[in-house]
Structure 1
Amino acid sequence: MSTYTENESKFMRKAKENPFVPVGLAGFFAIVGYRLIKMKSRGDTKMSVHLIHMRVAAQGFVVGAMTLGVLYSMYRDYIVKPRELKAAENK
């Protein structure tokens, strides 16, 4: 059935496995919130252009966080673990 305890949610378990997921979500909501607040002072910019810029900025942040997460997990799996295994073999 479930491999995690009732006290620990699935989101918290996934966040511990890959810490860049909450960073990506927080950045996404921060950018969207900031751009929604700045919508009043957008000047002569059309609403559609402002919303497109907001979406591109938020998606860019999420893609960047996902890329960093993948690079971190590759570093952990292909560099750190082999070093630990080699050190354990030498003991």
Structure 2
Amino acid sequence: MATPGSVTPEAPFDPSQPPVIEGFSPTVYKDAETFKEKFLRKTRENPMVPLGCLGTVAALAYGLFCFHRGQSQRSQLMMRTRIVAQGFTVAAILMGLAASAMKPRH
């Protein structure tokens, strides 16, 4: 007789295979996406996020360049611009999440 806390497995556990969970599919895609394919798909779904990231990096790089050259006023302006670009990026991410949450599931 088994003790109340013991569990007898029905099949041996194979750590090289994902567990089978009823009603759960680990991916909705037939084939695994490569990094490039996923990046392009996500960019098409929400193109404002990469634009915000590029704006953030550009403002940061130019601000650091101005700081290195001793142009403190322009450097401060670029750091403030970077903050605005970061805010734009976060807003774009949130808007994308809201849009995908309201999209009907197939």
- Note the alpha carbon deviations across 1:43-89, whole angstroms, 9 max, x for none: 98252x2232022011011011001111101111xxx34xx7xxxxx
Residue 4 of structure 1 and its aligned partner are, at CA, apart by 2.9
Other-structure match for 1:56: 83
Gaps of 5+ in 2: 1-30
Aligned residue pairs total: 68
Per-residue CA distance 1:9-60 (angstroms, 9 max, x = gap): 23123335xx12x321113324654794xx7xxx98252x223202201101
Unaligned runs of 5+ in 1: 85-91
* Percent sequence identity over aligned pairs: 25
Query: Which structure has the higher relative contact order (CA within 8 Å, separation 6+)?
Result: 1
1:14 paired residue number: 42
Q: TM-score, structure 2 length as denominator?
A: 0.45
Could you say if the C-alpha distance between residues 3 and 44 of structure 1 is closer, same or farther in structure 2, counting changes exceeding 3 Å? closer
* Partner secondary structure for residue 9 of structure 1: helix
Report the TM-score when normalising by structure 1.
0.50
Which of these two proteins has the greater Rg computed from alpha carbons? 2
- In structure 1, the partner of 2:102 is 75
Q: Distance in 1 between matches of 2:98 and 2:53?
A: 20
Please give the root-mean-square deviation of Cα atoms over the aligned residues, in Å: 3.4
